[in-house]
């Protein structure tokens, strides 16, 4: 694939976490999160996107979400556990994506709010459309994901460079 072919970034917020008396980084998934993560994984698998790479925060709840979601995939992508995703700003998340190897065309990032939601908004700029309306209406609840596309190299990824092509969130 060349850099002229569209790339996809899927921004996936971890599933619902519990609030036990542990450090924030160590919080596990709540029962609802353990139910929602595989459902989100099935939705991602049904999208037909052949993921080349998954970038996952090192926090316990993101690792648990990924473990439950990826079970639904026909093939597990290479996974990198990236500590910089935890508590990252949208700009810090762009910097992580800028380091993505050029041979990766479809990347899944499993992270946290407000960074993941902010990143979706920053990368899509003032885009309009059905998916954008759903995202604006629902926000970015736990286990939600947004599918973004762009053309170019990972190093050239910048605000407003992407199109939001799909958005999904669990129904409550």
Residue 2: its pLDDT value, please? 55
The per-residue pLDDT for 139 is 86
Q: The pTM is what?
A: 0.94
Asked if residue 80 has pLDDT above 60, the reply is yes
Domain ranges for the chain: 7-168
Could you say which DSSP state residue 16 is in?
P
Compute the 3-state secondary structure of the chain and give helix, strand, coil in percent, each to the nearest 5.
Answer: 35, 20, 40
Judge contact between 19 and 60, C-beta under 8 A.
no
Coil/strand/helix, residue 108: strand
- What pLDDT does residue 3 have? 56
Q: Which residue is listed with tokens 């190093």?
A: 155
Each residue's pLDDT tens digit, 146-167: 999 999 999 999 999 999 999 9
Superfamily covering domain 7-168 = Phosphoglycerate mutase-like (3.40.50.1240)
Distant-in-sequence, close-in-space partners of 87: CB < 8 Å, separation ≥ 6? 112, 115
Confidence label for 79 from pLDDT (cuts 50, 70 and 90): very high
């Amino acid at each position: 694939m060349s850099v002229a072919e569209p790339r996809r970034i899927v921004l996936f917020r971890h599933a619902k976490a519990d609030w036990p008396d542990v450090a924030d980084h160590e919080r596990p998934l709540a029962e609802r999160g353990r139910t929602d993560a595989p459902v989100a994984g099935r939705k991602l698998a049904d999208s037909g996107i052949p993921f080349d790479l998954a970038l996952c925060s090192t926090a316990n709840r993101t690792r648990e979400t990924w473990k439950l979601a990826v079970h639904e995939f026909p093939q597990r992508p290479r996974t990198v556990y990236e500590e910089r995703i935890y508590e990252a700003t949208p700009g810090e998340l762009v910097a992580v994506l800028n380091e993505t190897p050029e041979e990766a065309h479809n990347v899944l990032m499993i992270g946290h709010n407000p960074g993941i939601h902010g990143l979706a908004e920053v990368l899509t700029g003032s885009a309009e459309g059905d998916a954008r309306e759903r995202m604006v209406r629902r926000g970015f609840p736990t286990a939600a994901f947004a599918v973004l596309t762009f053309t170019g190299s990972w190093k050239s990824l910048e605000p407003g460079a992407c199109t939001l092509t799909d958005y999904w969130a669990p129904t409550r």
